[in-house]
Amino acid sequence: MRTAIPEEPLGSTGKSIPLVGFGTVEYPLNEAFKERVLHAIKLGYRHFDTAAAYPSEQPLGEALAEALRLGLVQSRDELFITSKLWLIDSYRGRVIPAYKKLSRLLDWSTLISI
């Protein structure tokens, strides 16, 4: 059963971002994490939030790839991923490498808060 989650238009892009996201902080991270993400997608979540401080970036990317393989979502365009950099990575010369690392871990394009 998919729940309707309110969305907010993103300027003139024609896209909207869900106003409610699924947080992925989990300590300790365990095998059930991916199943929880898949279940969240089945419930209607399309916005996932992570951070460099969480150990969940790579498992989140794997779960999202699995959701695509299973047909729970038709394309990456249906999903929004937000993340936060470590404070030390917010300095000149460190933001882009940190973003690239995150994109590799998630295998996804991501909105990052600095």
Q: Which string of DSSP letters, residue by residue, matches 40-99? A: HHHHT--EEE--TTSTTHHHHHHHHHHHHHHTSSS-GGG-EEEEE--GGGGSTTTHHHHH
Tell me which residues are annotated as active site: 54
